[in-house]
Amino acid sequence: MSSDIRSSTGEPVEGPFERHSYRVRFDGGNGFELAGIIDRPRERLTSEPLADAPVAVFSHCFTCSKDLKAIARISRRLAELGVAVLRFDMTGLGGSDGDFSRTHFTSNQADLKAAVQFAGTELGAVTGLIGHSFGGAASLAVASDEVARPHSLKAVVAIAAPSDTVHLANLLDRMNPKIQEDGIGEVEIGGRRWSIRREMLDDFRSHQLADQLPNIQSHVMAFHSPSDETVGYDHALRIASLISGEDDQPGCSVVTLAGADHLLIRHPGDAILVADTAAAFLNRHR
């Protein structure tokens, strides 16, 4: 099974490994069953799973799913480059059970922890977390938690991730003030109507991600576009400024995706750049 990613010239880009993808379901962190897809590298000659491949768990953006085009492309490409990936739907989204309107940042982290536990059983010790947008914030938050983060974690890849959760609460509040006034209201995101509860905004505002980031001990790579109109480029710079490595050296590398949009669909080469660079990073820190 080969990747559907193509280069900016339209030519297929093939990795050294064969990709084997299959669907899974597992217990989430909020009492609901979650849907996921595993993209796993296999040796081309034998079709045997690649031994000792780094294992990463991929979290999607707010109201998105594991099937978002950029997430699917990056995950598939990572498998072709030797990284085993579990991408999954948070509670109430995609193929997962539950009520999205009753979720929040705390529940997102609980689902991510459950996904890490499942991936550890299915694929091996999780060495990397990958997150797009709000999923990047969840990945960074779990990586900063001394109790919750897997002991095997070595690397975090944040793609267009915010440096806080308060900005999303404020945005949703502006989109529909009835959320605060009445306790629930609808907003339109990605052409769909979503019910948002006041409890979600309260939870977003209760987290201080910036205070947690200095606790991260893993290597971090942040991909971000200066032209991202959803999450500003300053968020990537803030994340990098708050994470220190060994001997007080920078612990976060920022990769600038010039001209890219938030969902990485404008230019075909953006997903390839992210996947290829992330694969090298995840293989280096494992």
According to the model, what pLDDT value does residue 250 have? 77
- Average pLDDT over all residues of the chain: 94
Is the pLDDT confidence value at 63 over 90? Answer: yes
Cβ-contact 80, 278 below 8 angstroms = no
Where would I find the beta strands (DSSP E) of the chain? 18-27, 33-42, 55-59, 84-88, 128-132, 155-159, 184-189, 192-197, 219-224, 252-256
262 pLDDT higher than 70:
yes
Report the distance separating Cα 111 and Cα 25, nearest Å: 12
Q: Does the pLDDT value for residue 167 go beyond 60? A: yes
Put simply, whether the predicted model's pTM sits higher than 0.85 gets the answer yes
Amino acid at 139: S
CATH domain 18-164+209-284 topology: Rossmann fold (3.40.50)
Smallest Cα–Cα separation from 158: which of 215, 232, 222?
222
pLDDT at 109 over 90: yes
User: Which tokens is 178 given?
Assistant: 């009835």
At residue 218, the pLDDT reads 95
Across residues 57-83, what is the average pLDDT?
Answer: 97
pLDDT at residue 2 in the model: 44
Q: Where are the domains of the chain?
A: 18-164+209-284, 166-206
Judged by DSSP in three states, 23 sits in strand
Q: Which of 78-87, 144-153, 222-231, 240-249 has the weakest average pLDDT?
A: 240-249
Can you read off the two tokens belonging to residue 247? 């001997």
Q: Calculate the dihedral angle through the C-alpha atoms of 242, 104, 188, 191, rounding to the nearest 10 degrees.
A: 80
- Give the whole-angstrom CA distance, residue 118 versus residue 114: 6
Q: How confident is the model at residue 186, as a pLDDT?
A: 97
Average pLDDT of span 62-69? 97
Does residue 70 have a pLDDT over 70? yes
Secondary structure E strands in 13-118? 18-27, 33-42, 55-59, 84-88
Residues 128-160 pLDDT 10s: 999 999 999 999 999 999 998 999 999 999 999
Would the pLDDT of 199 be above 50?
yes
Summarize pLDDT for 203-218 with one digit per residue, the tens. Answer: 999 999 999 999 999 9
What φ, ψ does residue 248 adopt, rounded to 5°?
A: 60, 20
pLDDT confidence band for 13 (50 / 70 / 90): low
**DSSP code of residue 161:** -
If pLDDT is split at 50, 70 and 90, which confidence band does 246 have?
confident
* Whether residue 6 has pLDDT greater than 70: no
Least confident of 12-26, 51-65, 175-189: 12-26
Separation of CA 233 from chain center = 17
**Token pair 């979290």 is at which residue?**
59
- Per-residue pLDDT, averaged over 19-36, amounts to 98
Q: The tokens 């897997």 sit on which residue?
A: 150
With CA atoms as reference, report the closest residue to 87 among 103, 105, 64.
64
The C-alpha atoms of residue 69 and residue 264 are separated, in whole angstroms, by 8
What is the C-alpha separation between 286 and 284, in angstroms, rounded? 6
pLDDT in the model for residue 15:
85
